């Protein structure tokens, strides 16, 4: 195979694509704009109180009212000293106090509270950051009050355990850190891989059908072979896809690093280099497998529109792998997770997802990679055969039957 000609096709493809204004805007302009927007909006919002769901903020100055026809709350027991609670005899009185901003909100405990459990907290406007934590103290007060004088039983029923936790012999994955981002990272990583594989594959199929449609391919095929043309395009757009992804990731990193930490990235958050290296390798293998197949149907289709239904069929294994990650990220050692992590067409997303949440024996990604290499060679050899003059220059409609026939006859 003439590498010089592949390089020529590759260089031309990169040059043409990089000259497209929309590609430059999408690949490089957009992340910069999004980064700037993120910094501006989150910086504006950084003064807002950060109140996790379970935590109660300092509340010395919070005054709340309550209306208690049930009569459960007789006194404010010890342990609830910070809030000021004012009892009102009726809702009208509490409502008037709320309108005058004398109280921040009031609770209504119906007479049949024990049976129905209904408790209403009335405020003027919603503010979830404050409303929910503010109700927790009153819920505790009400819970204790249900037990009358037996405060010890009430306290035990409200909080049956004062926990000390201990983690032993962790099997958690390499990014099992105690922060929100580490918990979400496997999902982000899988989505990112999915995008990295699909975006350049989509550009590839468009590129092939465009050149078929505007007849440029007729001139190109007079000087390079169909397989050189195909491999050059595959490598060029794969490279640009990776470049684009790296730029997007780099922008997110830069916003976190130099943007005065507006994204509130946890200080202890790190992604292991080993995992990133595997992710890049698997992304490229995934692109090689799916990009090849999509370019193949592009070679058969007279127009990009005709490729859509077959594209769905070709992408089905990737979509299944992505969807099944709901299970795999919870049970990464299950048999089905291992099977799909080794199966080449699902491996790129499933294996990386598993590696992010659990310690996987080294042989598993290695075997998976080996199987993917074999699959890539087979798929490339099979679909490159579609890149020959007869198919590239034909204008017959693309159907599943015509694809199978073309693959069999070539």
Which 206-265 residues touch other proteins, going by CB under 8 A? 206-207, 209-210, 213-214
- Identify which of 164, 168, 146 has the alpha carbon closest to the alpha carbon of residue 155: 146
Of 348-407, binders to other proteins (CB under 8 A) are: none
Shortest distance in whole angstroms from residue 201 CB to other proteins: 13
Min dist. Cβ of residue 158 to other proteins (A): 8
Q: Which of 3, 36, 156, 339 binds other proteins (CB under 8 A)?
A: 156
Which residue lies nearer to other proteins by CB, 122 or 371? 122
Nearer to other proteins (CB atom), residue 214 or residue 409: 214
Among 44, 246, 316, 373, binds other proteins (CB under 8 A): 44
What is the contact mask toward other proteins in residues 82 to 101, using x (rule: CB under 8 A)?
-------------x--x---
Residues 293-322 that bind other proteins (CB under 8 A): 303-305, 308-309, 312
Among 66, 83, 88, 113, binds other proteins (CB under 8 A): 113
Site string for other proteins, 18-37 (x = CB under 8 A): --x-xx-xx---x---x--x
Nearest CB to other proteins, comparing residues 22 and 362: 22
Distances (CA, A) of 33 to 38, 125, 246, 250, 387: 9, 33, 16, 13, 39
Q: What is the rounded distance in angstroms from the CA atom of residue 389 to the CA atom of residue 218?
A: 8
Does the protein bind other proteins through residue 122 (CB under 8 A)?
yes
Asked if 115 touches other proteins (CB under 8 A), the answer is yes
Question: Smallest distance, Å, CB 289 to other proteins?
Answer: 22
DSSP codes, 327-367: HHTT-TTSHHHHHHHHSTTTHHHHHHHHHHHB---THHHHH
With contacts defined by CB under 8 A, name the span among 7-15, 205-213, 275-283, 363-371 that binds other proteins: 205-213
User: CA triplet 252, 258, 261: central angle to 5 degrees?
Assistant: 80
DSSP 297-336: HHHH-SSGGGGHHHHHHHHHHHHHHHHHHHHHTT-TTSHH
By the 10 Å C-beta count (0-12 exposed, 13-18 middle, 19+ buried), 92 is classed as exposed
Which is nearer to other proteins, 270 or 309 (by Cβ)? 309
Measure the CA–CA gap between 176 and 356, rounded to whole angstroms.
8
Minimum Å gap between C-beta 127 and other proteins is 8
CA–CA separation, 187 and 334 (whole Å): 18
Give burial (CB, 10 Å; 0-12/13-18/19+) of 241: buried
Nearest to other proteins of 311, 372 (CB atom): 311
In the complex with other proteins, the residue whose CB is nearer, 2 or 172, is 172
Phi/psi at 105 (5° precision):
180, 170
Q: Of 179 and 410, which has the nearer Cβ to other proteins?
A: 179
Q: What gap in Å lies between CA 222 and CA 337, rounded to an integer?
A: 47
Closest CA to 26 of 236, 188, 307, 243: 243
Assess 53 for contact with other proteins (CB under 8 A).
no
Binding other proteins by CB under 8 A: which of 58, 162, 219, 395?
162
| Phi-psi group of 115: left, alpha or beta (phi > 0 → left; psi -120 to 50 → alpha; rest → beta) | alpha
Rounded to a whole number of angstroms, the minimum distance from the CB of residue 89 to other proteins is 19
Which listed residue (15, 41, 258, 378) binds other proteins by CB under 8 A? 41
CB closer to other proteins out of 35 and 344: 35
Beta bridge mates, 64: 85, 105
Q: Which of 166, 219, 363, 409 binds other proteins (CB under 8 A)?
A: 166
Among 92, 159, 218, 257, binds other proteins (CB under 8 A): 159
For residue 135, state whether it binds other proteins (rule: CB under 8 A).
Answer: yes
């Amino acid at each position: 195979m003439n590498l010089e000609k592949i390089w020529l096709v590759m260089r031309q493809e990169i040059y043409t694509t990089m000259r497209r204004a929309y590609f430059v805007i999408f690949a490089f302009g957009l992340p910069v704009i999004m980064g700037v927007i993120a910094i501006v909006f989150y910086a504006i919002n950084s003064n807002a109180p950060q109140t996790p769901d379970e935590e109660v903020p300092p509340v010395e100055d919070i005054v709340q009212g309550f209306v208690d026809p049930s009569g459960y709350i007789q006194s404010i027991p010890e342990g609830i000293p910070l809030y000021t609670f004012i009892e009102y005899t009726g809702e009208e009185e509490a409502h008037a106090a709320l309108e005058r901003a004398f109280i921040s909100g009031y609770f209504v405990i119906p007479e049949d509270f024990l049976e129905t459990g209904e408790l209403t907290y009335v405020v003027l406007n919603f503010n979830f950051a404050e409303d929910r934590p503010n109700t927790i103290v009153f819920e505790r007060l009400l819970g204790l009050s249900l037990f009358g004088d037996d405060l010890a039983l009430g306290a035990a029923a409200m909080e049956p355990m004062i926990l000390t936790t201990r983690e032993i012999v962790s099997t958690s994955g390499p990014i099992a850190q105690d922060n929100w981002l580490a918990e979400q990272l496997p999902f982000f990583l899988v989505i990112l891989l999915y995008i990295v594989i699909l975006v350049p594959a989509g550009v590839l199929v468009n590129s092939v059908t465009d050149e078929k449609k505007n007849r440029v391919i007729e001139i190109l095929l007079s000087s390079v072979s169909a397989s050189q043309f195909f491999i050059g395009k595959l490598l060029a757009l794969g490279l640009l896809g990776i470049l684009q992804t790296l730029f997007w990731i780099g922008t997110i990193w830069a916003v976190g690093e130099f943007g005065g930490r507006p994204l509130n990235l946890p200080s202890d958050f790190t992604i292991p280099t080993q995992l990133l290296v595997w992710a890049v390798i698997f992304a490229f293998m995934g692109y090689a497998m799916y990009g090849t197949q999509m370019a193949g149907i592009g070679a058969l289709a007279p127009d990009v529109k005709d490729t859509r239904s077959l594209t769905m069929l070709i992408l089905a294994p990737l979509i299944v792998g992505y969807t099944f990650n709901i299970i795999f990220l919870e049970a990464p050692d299950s048999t089905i997770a291992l099977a799909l992590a080794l199966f080449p067409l699902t491996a790129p997303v499933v294996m990386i997802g598993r590696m992010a949440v659990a310690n996987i024996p080294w042989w598993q990604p290695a075997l998976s990679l080996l199987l993917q290499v074999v699959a890539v060679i087979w798929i490339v050899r099979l679909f490159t055969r579609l890149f020959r003059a007869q198919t590239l220059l034909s204008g017959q409609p693309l159907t599943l039957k015509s694809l199978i026939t073309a693959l069999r006859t070539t």
